[in-house]
Amino acid sequence: MSVPAAPGDATRAAAERLLRRCDELAAVSASPDGIERVHLSAEHARVNAVAAGWLREAGLATWQDAAGNQWGRLEGAEPGLPALVLGSHLDTVPDAGRYDGILGVVTAIEVAARLAPHRAQLPFAVEVVAFGDEEGTRFGTALLGSRAVAGTWLDGWWDVADAAGTTLREASTAFGLDPAAIADAARRPEDLVGYLELHIEQGPHLEAAGRALGVVTSIAGARRFAGRVVGEARHAGGTPYAKRRDALVGAGQVVVALERLAVETGGIATVGRLQAHPGGVNVVPGLVEFSLDVRAEHDATRDDLVARIEAYARETCAARGLGFELQETHRAPGVYCDAGLTESVVAGIAATGDDDPVQLFSRAGHDAMAVAAITPVAMLFVRCEDGISHHPAEAVTLDDVGLGLDALEAAVRDLARRRSAAR
Ligand code: GLV
Ligand code: MN
Ligand code: MN
């Protein structure tokens, strides 16, 4: 095994540009105190326009699709060939870092720019996509952009509302999209060669292994829920304990139990949002609304964990005279990366000097898992400092970004060689 020392000077210069571009996109935020860019917002429109400018500069034809995803296309040896798609997402969680999704998009654009002078040798077109919603921050339903592209859009989503009560249908229309045209965003499998996504790892494994890059074997499928614990709001002082039906105490008990249930089952469960109502300092909480995110390497493990959480919560709440409700808002099946496409990712990483790359299962969700419904997918991870993500402290090094860029380009070239040889 040999592990790369550092990328060359030209790559380091390109990596500097990629980091500058991540900084430029980070400045497009709805919040003055941090990064927040949600689906179908004014910020979404602005980053699409910025990305479209970079795509055109790289020599690609551009368009925004019916779901608000930004695309670019570089024709191959002849016009109209099926496309290899490179990309990731430009939306963020609240108070986000600047690389989750974004690094994959800017790197894909740079790879396309590198390939543009050699397009006559490409046995496929190269497309770049910047998906508009991977996180699900605004509507709770994740992967809206990539699921529209995969043709797995569900009509029930149109009436899902954000925190301000704006429905997805209203937000799409205000963004200038036509909800009736959503099917136009779907791509046909026969027009695609595959999908390659570069993403920061969002975990500590590459750092622990001392490697800049890793290859993804599979992606965990998440289920998300909107939960409610229903009790009775009453006077905080006047109500004796025997009469209290405190929804927050019941919800708290469930939240504390999640960790034990998850560890016992081998999955992961998180309550990221929780609100007590009516929210008076001297009122027993009568209602708690919360989010629940559950994932595992295998869907059966995840579903087992959901069942255990639900059983525990119902029993615990019933014993306290509380109601418990759980409504599913998102479900994505776990996905295995394609073996053939993954060979090209391994070859791409090997071209940077690491000929036995670390293989990882992704605990984070990615657009690749939606796109897998229509075309083979593979993923390349870039080490991030301390494994931290979904936090402003997200950090990558210049050298790692350069190695990721070289590896993604080499993966595309490897795939091109294989396909040309097979013709
Ligand atoms: C996306 O970042 C997810 O894994 O939830
Ligand atoms: Mn994310
Ligand atoms: Mn992401």
80 and 147 housed in the same domain: yes
* CA 276 to centroid of ligand 1, rounded, Å: 25
pLDDT over threshold 90, residue 423: no
Is residue 405 in some structural domain?
yes
Q: What is the CATH number of the domain that holds 26?
A: 3.40.630.10
Is residue 140 in some structural domain?
yes
Q: What is the CATH number of the domain that holds 279?
A: 3.30.70.360
**Atom of ligand 1 at shortest distance to CA of 389?**
2
227 and 216 housed in the same domain: no
Cβ < 6 Å from ligand 1: which residues? Answer: 135, 222, 364-365
315 and 338 housed in the same domain: no
Residue 371 burial class via C-beta count within 10 angstroms: exposed 0-12, middle 13-18, buried 19 and up? buried
Out of 135, 138, 360, 361, mutate this one to test ligand 1's pocket (max ligand atoms within 8 Å of CB): namely 135
Non-local CB neighbours of 163 within 8 Å, separated by 6+ positions: none
* CA 395 to centroid of ligand 3, rounded, Å: 14
Helices (H), 58-130: 102-115
pLDDT over threshold 60, residue 1: no
pLDDT average, residue stretch 304-315? 98
pLDDT average, residue stretch 81-103? 98
Residue 364's nearest CA partner among 224, 219, 263 is 219
Confidence of residue 340 (pLDDT cuts 50, 70, 90): very high
Residue 128's nearest CA partner among 88, 82, 182, 183 is 88
How much of the chain is helix, strand and coil, in % rounded to 5?
40, 25, 35
Q: Which helix (H) or strand (E) holds 344?
A: helix 339-350
pLDDT average, residue stretch 331-356? 96
* CA 364 to centroid of ligand 2, rounded, Å: 7
**What's the pLDDT score for residue 193?**
98
Q: Strands, DSSP E only, in 109-191?
A: 125-131
Judged by average pLDDT, the poorest of 157-161, 329-333, 399-403, 410-414 is: 329-333
pLDDT average, residue stretch 85-96? 98
Classified as helix, coil or strand, 90 is coil
For 162-195, write each residue's pLDDT tens digit: 999 999 999 999 999 999 999 999 999 999 999 9
**What's the pLDDT score for residue 3?**
63
Is residue 3 in some structural domain?
no
DSSP 353: T
356 and 343 housed in the same domain: yes
The closest residue, in CA terms, to atom 1 on ligand 1 is 365
Query: Given 301, 332, 363, which residue is the final one in a domain?
Result: 332
Classified as helix, coil or strand, 327 is strand
CB neighbours of residue 142 within 10 Å:
27
Q: Strands, DSSP E only, in 119-202?
A: 125-131, 192-200
Give the residues across from 326 on adjacent strands. Answer: 227
pLDDT over threshold 90, residue 141: no
Region at 397 (left for phi over 0; alpha for psi -120 to 50; beta for the rest): beta
Is residue 167 in some structural domain?
yes
Give me the domain span that covers residue 306: 221-332
327 and 343 housed in the same domain: no
For 27-82, write each residue's pLDDT tens digit: 999 999 999 999 999 999 999 999 999 999 999 999 999 999 999 999 999 999 99
Tokens of 30: 């709805």
Out of 144, 390, 394, mutate this one to test ligand 1's pocket (max ligand atoms within 8 Å of CB): namely 390
Out of 92, 102, 134, 143, mutate this one to test ligand 1's pocket (max ligand atoms within 8 Å of CB): namely 134
Is residue 267 in some structural domain?
yes
**What's the pLDDT score for residue 259?**
97
21 and 132 housed in the same domain: yes
Give the residues across from 295 on adjacent strands. Answer: 222, 268
376 and 363 housed in the same domain: yes
**What's the pLDDT score for residue 140?**
87
Query: Given 286, 306, 332, which residue is the final one in a domain?
Result: 332
135 and 57 housed in the same domain: yes
339 and 318 housed in the same domain: no
**What's the pLDDT score for residue 2?**
56
**What's the pLDDT score for residue 5?**
64
61 and 172 housed in the same domain: yes
Is residue 1 in some structural domain?
no
* CA 251 to centroid of ligand 2, rounded, Å: 26
**Atom of ligand 1 at shortest distance to CA of 295?**
4
Report percent pLDDT > 90 for the chain.
Answer: 96
**What's the pLDDT score for residue 196?**
98
Q: Which helix (H) or strand (E) holds 380?
A: strand 377-382
pLDDT over threshold 80, residue 273: yes
Residue 314's nearest CA partner among 229, 243, 223, 224 is 229
Number of domains in the chain: 2
Report percent pLDDT > 70 for the chain.
Answer: 99
Is residue 107 in some structural domain?
yes
Is residue 2 in some structural domain?
no
* CA 256 to centroid of ligand 2, rounded, Å: 24
Tokens of 25: 């996109």
155 and 253 housed in the same domain: no
Q: Please list, residue by residue across 95-114, b when 16 or more beta carbons sit within 10 angstroms of its beta carbon and e when fewer do.
A: ebbbbbbbbbbbbbbbbbbb
Query: If you average pLDDT over every residue of the chain, what do you get?
Result: 97
pLDDT over threshold 60, residue 414: yes
Query: Given 332, 360, 386, which residue is the final one in a domain?
Result: 332
318 and 352 housed in the same domain: no
The closest residue, in CA terms, to atom 5 on ligand 1 is 365
Dihedral of alpha carbons 29, 30, 34, 37, sign: negative
Q: Are 358 and 205 in contact (CB under 8 A)?
A: yes
The closest residue, in CA terms, to atom 3 on ligand 1 is 365
pLDDT average, residue stretch 329-343? 95
**What's the pLDDT score for residue 4?**
58
Region at 313 (left for phi over 0; alpha for psi -120 to 50; beta for the rest): alpha
Q: Could you tell me the end-to-end alpha-carbon distance of the chain, in angstroms, rounded to an integer?
A: 33
The model's pTM: 0.93
